[in-house]
Structure 1
């Protein structure tokens, strides 16, 4: 298996509070792995996802992604990877209330080339049916339930069929039926497209279904 993530963090410090997390943290991930990250609140789980996803570069350490040292990459390349190679299903991924759910989900397509856009749009309806949100596509986010909005955020995160999916508590606000639906979709993408899955979760049953579990602790 090919290594696609090699991360070595000496520490991440928050300037306002001087809180230091992820001290001497190392992570290597191969293409197609399913990794679960667990730990109590405040140990740096979401911060770790932001670093892996190139949203946060304010830390001490080195990060090699897809064989390239991220420090050497231009911001335009990092932005391209965030849009096309990394799918984010993050708790703070707010939907734009002035747009319909469908338009929110299709936002990443604005920066896709015509060939990939056409391929994705061909599968769009079946993908929305699989996620179970075909009935809310014309609604605005504020007209949807919390669980429906969570599934819409999930749809936006996977629409580009990225190489890596970073999921922050993707099943937290879902009932049992829809939790199972989302987990199965994640693992289906992993199997069909060799997508690497990295999931932050407090649900140990979900965590145990991954290939590896990484426990983050304080200190």
Structure 2
């Protein structure tokens, strides 16, 4: 089976002083794998997700995604893959305050010009019902609680039924009931669509429910 992700990072540098992380890091992921990433703050967990998700290309190394060398992809192709093939549940994934929760969730569908497709509408209904946000769809983000906004960000991440879902602390602001809803939906998508799930978390209960755990350590 061909790997969906094959990543080799010599290092990721941040400033002229030479601060760097992810020294000699290698990662290979198979399609449909459930992988969690743990480690103390500052070791590069979120940076790693940004690299995997094509948000950050400023690192030394090589990356093959979907059997294609990332360094050879055009800017348009990178944007297309970020919208259609990769779902992001990242801490900085802000909702647009001027749009309703429903329109925020449907943004990827609009970018792909499929928001009116029957299958897309059905998938939208399934997601919002599963994670319990039907009552806030017509509200604006600032009218919602932090937990409600977190669930809306999650819904937007999975609305395109992506091949890879990248989650950065997806349950951090949720109560136990809604935490279970999010994890259940993640793993249902993995089971039904062979979606690859990569989750950064400090919650060892969440981490242990994945098939494989990678612990990042601080560089010497």
Q: TM-score range by the shorter chain?
A: over 0.9
Partner of 1:35: 35
Number of residues of Structure 1 aligned to a counterpart in Structure 2: 219
Alignment of 1:59-208 (within 5 A): 59-114=59-114, 117-208=117-208
Take 2:10 and 2:48, find their aligned partners in 1: how far apart are those partners?
A: 12
Give the drift of 1:19.
1.5
Take 2:116 and 2:18, find their aligned partners in 1: how far apart are those partners?
A: 44
1:62-112 CA distances to partner (integer Å, 9 max, x unpaired)?
Answer: 000000000111111111000000000001000011110001001101222
Take 2:55 and 2:201, find their aligned partners in 1: how far apart are those partners?
A: 19
Contact 1:109 1:117 (8 Å CA) reproduced: no
Contact 1:89 1:165 (8 Å CA) reproduced: yes
Q: 1:23 to 1:117 in 2, by over 3 A?
A: farther
- Structural RMSD (CA): 1.3
Take 1:152 and 1:45, find their aligned partners in 2: how far apart are those partners?
A: 23
Segment of structure 1 superposing worse, 77-86 or 117-126: 117-126
Gaps of 5+ in 2: none
Task: Compute the TM-score of the two structures, normalised by the length of structure 2.
Answer: 0.96
Give the drift of 1:117.
4.1
Partner of 1:46: 46
Take 2:63 and 2:73, find their aligned partners in 1: how far apart are those partners?
A: 11
SS at match of 1:63: strand
Give the drift of 1:123.
2.8
Gaps of 5+ in 1: none
